[in-house]
Amino acid sequence: MCGRVAQYDSWADLVAIMRLPGPDMLKEPIEPRYNVAPTTQTLLMVNDEGTLIGERVRWGWRPHWAKDKPAPINARLEKVAHGPFFRAIWPHRAICPVSGWYEWVDEGGPKRQPYFIRRRDRYACLSAAIGQFPAGDREPAEHDGFVIITADAQGGMVDVHDRRPVVLSPELAAEWLDPATPKERAEQIALLQGEPAEAFEWFRVSTAVGNVRNQDRGLIEPLISEA
């Protein structure tokens, strides 16, 4: 999975998708973003004692003892639950709601061709994530951050990229967020119950997405092929 996503769903739409029974709170206003890059403050959803909290957290995290390594932005599903690198944050689950994500494909041209991948039903992709983030009234800290969990791509999606985020249904996303969900159950959700490739569609988009300064909605519009 390449490191670029879009987040343009409103908070009201995200809350409606999640369908959690408790209260919700957005810590700061959000604006539609069509070209979200790693290391930037990215919208994350967490369950804070029964309240669904939306806050911005840096996309990317590494443990304090790995200062000589770049901060990963993704975590491979096959290793995340048991490897030492993410051990400290594996219990701290979150949802990174993305409207879709971008991948670049070498199609033989002078530049790689970007694709946009989104749900066919156009709902937000509720991507499983883990991280270190503010809880309760704690202020953001220097080492806060998160990673998106990724798995092997399936079906035709493999032609675009061999990795994909683990996207959960609203019901499983709620279970993933619930602090009462055992770690073993959370691992099974991520391993076996992510949305299948058939739930998504993908299409070519403008190469303008390669410049992170470009943020307009045109970035997610299908590229019209010349006849």
Q: Residue 149 phi/psi, 5° resolution?
A: -80, 130
Give residue for tokens 């058939």.
198
Give residue for tokens 């709620």.
174
The residue type of 182 is P
DSSP state of 139: P
For 50-84, the pLDDT digits (tens) are: 999 999 999 999 998 988 888 999 999 988 988 89
- Of the pLDDT bands very low, low, confident and very high (cuts 50, 70, 90), residue 108 is confident
Q: Is 91 exposed, middle or buried (0-12, 13-18, 19+ CB in 10 A)?
A: exposed
Give residue for tokens 């443990």.
63
For 191-210, the pLDDT digits (tens) are: 999 999 999 999 999 999 99
CB 44 within 8 A of CB 129: yes
- Of the pLDDT bands very low, low, confident and very high (cuts 50, 70, 90), residue 136 is low
**Residue 166 clears pLDDT 80, i.e. is over it:** yes
Strands (E) across the chain are located at 5-7, 24-26, 33-36, 41-48, 51-58, 74-76, 93-98, 100-105, 113-119, 125-132, 145-152, 163-165, 167-168, 200-204
The residues carrying an active-site annotation are 2, 103
Strand bridging mode 5-7 / 100-105: antiparallel
Q: What element of type H or E holds 186?
A: helix 183-192
Domains and CATH numbers, the chain: 5-97+124-196 (3.90.1680.10)
